[in-house]
Structure 1
Amino acid sequence: MFYKQHFLKIINKKFYLKNKKIYVSVSSGLDSMVLLDVLIKICNFTICVIHCNFNLRGKDSDKDELFIQEFCLKHKILFKSKNFNPIKSNFSIQMMARKLRYDWFKYLLNNSYCDYIALGHHLDDSIETFFINLIRGTGIKGLIGINNFKKKIIRPLSFFSKKEIISYAQENNIKWREDNSNYDHKYLRNRIRFFLKPILDYKFYNGFKKSIKYLYYEYVCSKTHIDYIYNSITIEKKKDPFLFKIDR
């Protein structure tokens, strides 16, 4: 009961979603199934579940989709799924899958099918992204992690750690399906998840939340000022062919 009230209180405080139509992106994994359960329990907006099937795991990909579809039938929730083939690309499969997914989200939002799309990213995802970007080289924007609210894409679980999400799932008897690729150490994110994060204690999580907030404020402040200067001196800009005129 503690985690249910804890999640509902924070999400209601941070996100005003009353009378909105929310599309919830669900993969069948722990995080998205917890997100769906929490949003169902808030009950003051319309929910539709959306699912991307990238067909990367054979029959398991179809079982994931069927698992979500059966959940939606049981709870009388509208369900939309879309099949993709990210293999036919010059990009990595992960990058192409991400692009295809967000292109679909953009289409849904631009055509007013919903007010917001909710994703299951949480605090640990943001920590992993911080370290990935730090290792590869980045500026302030890359150190912010994952933005919890951007262009009508919301991440209601971004204030909760993975441990809290697991505790919520146990308390509320949430069922989900595991993706074995999450344990493959060839991916940098997984190596950070299994080798670096276990040594981080409770104090780190609290400090990280504060640091992300401060970095975000600094990024917004500097970007706002740079955008003001950019707009004030720009005379003409064309992407093709590239042309950029400024007032000297």
Structure 2
Amino acid sequence: MLPEFLAFINQRTSIRPGQRLLLAVSGGIDSVVLTELIRQSGFPFGLAHVNFSLRGAESDRDAAFVRALAGNLGVPFHYTQVDTHSVAAENGWSTQLAARNLRYDWFAEIREQKGYDWIVTAHHLTDSLETVLLNLVRGTGLAGLHGIPVQNGRVCRPLLCFSREELLDFARNNELEWVEDSSNATTDYSRNRIRHDVLPVLRELNPGLEKTFRGSLDRLSAADRWFQALLIPLHRQVAESGRIDAAWLAAQPEPLLLFSELLRPYGFSYRQAVNIYENPAQQTGRYYFSGTHRLLWDRGVWMLDRADNVYPSFHIEENMPLISAPGFTLTFEKLSHTSFLPGNDPSVAWLDAECLPFPLVLRPWQAGDRFCPLGLGGKAQKVSDYLVDQKIPRNEKNGVYVLESNHEIAWIVGRRADERFKITENTKGIIRVTCQKESSLS
């Protein structure tokens, strides 16, 4: 296994002999095998361990194990302990996202402070297969089929040529010791469900699943590199001119895919690109916004420039069925009272049409804004207090929008409607407004 490991490092990574490596070691079998292979390879290295405080005594046990491993090997040991749940709550992140951000930020700090050349993690081929399957379930483009990258900045993953089973064989043959993370045995997380419920079925269909996947991964990565190379002159042309000609675009073999790729560097998601391109009623002067740029439709040409305001305001006329704002899209539908289907989805507002005279204003919330939260009987509340009560993270507050009619807030978009605009037994017409949040699907 060592010759294949060294060959992979030489051929697929930028790691060179003599460079200092900071190994991310949890104490599990993957990182213990990585440590042993690096030791046998002769690289100077140190071990880094993060205690996420998620599993009580088990987390402390893992930290003690890695500390002892570093001591036995006579290499530097770097350690930190973090309150992952508190960081996740403060920033509005999932526990997994908080752990990932904390881990990589700390690794980067240690690398710079201690003079390591690379951060090396123990992700392997089966991890990469699980990632591709998760991306397929959630929705992805070609880039999401690459799996885990071998190298990303100063982070390197030299075990991506080996499956989990190969690592287990190596550990047993070398009589290595490791610790087990009890959470890996559960199906509480999506990745674990893929690992325990999906992969066994796929291996019944194809016993050589990882080997087949490795070949497919190489071809998919090559196809995307080729595709991106073809896009380079087109990206340069758009960057220099700030224009995308609609007639030229329509003449291309896959205009929607090309449109989304040309807009991606400017912060527009694939879903935004679909909504914009497939809008059948384009109007000259119509703007669409990403977090950093705006796209103007002007007589058959899309024109790009930087947005003067990351969070602009919009005036909405009665005949405008769709509005694309930074981070979300609103669609407006007129319904009769008989077609009213109440629900608790905060991304949908059901508003009395007679109480909602056009034009409407869609704008970022401001200090001093007040509304009457639906369900509180008309009692007024400051929007700022509502956001605090709902524990909206500070980094998300600036992006909160309100929908306003006649200077009154009808809806905190995607969160809470106003009591004064609710549907009643006297309602004759309904405006259903749906908020679809944008997410980059690569």
When the two structures are superposed, what TM-score results if normalisation uses the length of structure 2?
0.51
- Tell me, yes or no, if structure 1 residue 31 matches structure 2 residue 36: no
For residues 39-97 of structure 1, give each alpha carbon's deviation from its aligned partner in whole angstroms, at most 9, with x where no partner exists: 00100x21011111111111111111111111111111001012222212211101111
Q: Partner of 1:128 in structure 2?
A: 130
How far 1:149 moved relative to its partner? 1.5
CA gap of 1:106–1:226, structure 2 versus 1, over 3 A, is farther
Question: Structure 2: which 5+ residue stretches go unaligned?
Answer: 243-264, 268-289, 295-302, 306-442
- Which of 81, 84, 96 is the equivalent residue of 1:83? 81
CA gap of 1:232–1:81, structure 2 versus 1, over 3 A, is farther
Larger Rg, first or second structure (1 or 2): 2
How far 1:180 moved relative to its partner? 0.6
Q: Is the 8 A contact 1:4 1:168 kept in 2?
A: no
Q: Partner of 1:158 in structure 2?
A: 160
For residues 140-178 of structure 1, give each alpha carbon's deviation from its aligned partner in whole angstroms, at most 9, with x where no partner exists: 111111111221211111000111100000000110000
SS at match of 2:208: helix
For residues 183-203 of structure 1, give each alpha carbon's deviation from its aligned partner in whole angstroms, at most 9, with x where no partner exists: 111211111111221232343
Q: Partner of 1:242 in structure 2?
A: 292
Equivalence map 1:194-205=2 (5 Å) = 194-199=196-201, 200=203, 201-205=206-210
SS at match of 1:77: coil
Q: Which moved more, 1:61-70 or 1:233-242?
A: 233-242
CA gap of 1:146–1:11, structure 2 versus 1, over 3 A, is same
AA paired with 2:162? F
AA paired with 1:61? S
AA paired with 2:19? K
How far 1:9 moved relative to its partner? 5.0
Which one has a larger percent strand, Structure 1 or Structure 2? 2
Higher relative contact order (Cα pairs below 8 Å, separated by 6+ residues): 1
2: CA distance, partners of 1:150 / 1:108: 17
Equivalence map 1:138-177=2 (5 Å) = 138-177=140-179
Q: Is the 8 A contact 2:28 2:181 kept in 1?
A: yes
- Tell me, yes or no, if structure 1 residue 183 matches structure 2 residue 185: yes
Q: Which moved more, 1:74-83 or 1:191-200?
A: 191-200
2: CA distance, partners of 1:238 / 1:225: 18
AA paired with 2:212? G
1: CA distance, partners of 2:266 / 2:145: 30
Q: Partner of 2:64 in structure 1?
A: 66
1: CA distance, partners of 2:125 / 2:10: 17
2: CA distance, partners of 1:222 / 1:39: 35
CA gap of 1:71–1:195, structure 2 versus 1, over 3 A, is same
Q: Is the 8 A contact 2:22 2:46 kept in 1?
A: yes
SS at match of 2:85: coil
Q: Partner of 2:49 in structure 1?
A: 51
How far 1:104 moved relative to its partner? 2.0
For residues 113-142 of structure 1, give each alpha carbon's deviation from its aligned partner in whole angstroms, at most 9, with x where no partner exists: 211111001010011101111011111111
Identity %: 31
SS at match of 1:114: coil
Q: Partner of 1:19 in structure 2?
A: 18
For residues 215-240 of structure 1, give each alpha carbon's deviation from its aligned partner in whole angstroms, at most 9, with x where no partner exists: 11222233344354334433699999
AA paired with 1:194? H
Q: Is the 8 A contact 1:49 1:78 kept in 2?
A: yes
CA gap of 1:241–1:30, structure 2 versus 1, over 3 A, is closer
2: CA distance, partners of 1:194 / 1:49: 29
Q: Partner of 1:222 in structure 2?
A: 227
Q: Partner of 2:108 in structure 1?
A: 106
Kindly tell me the number of residue pairs found equivalent between the two proteins: 244
Q: Is the 8 A contact 1:132 1:189 kept in 2?
A: yes
CA gap of 1:91–1:227, structure 2 versus 1, over 3 A, is farther
Q: Is the 8 A contact 1:140 1:215 kept in 2?
A: yes
Which one has a larger percent helix, Structure 1 or Structure 2? 1
AA paired with 2:99? A
1: CA distance, partners of 2:5 / 2:192: 26
- Tell me, yes or no, if structure 1 residue 42 matches structure 2 residue 44: no
Q: CA RMSD in A?
A: 2.5
SS at match of 1:87: helix
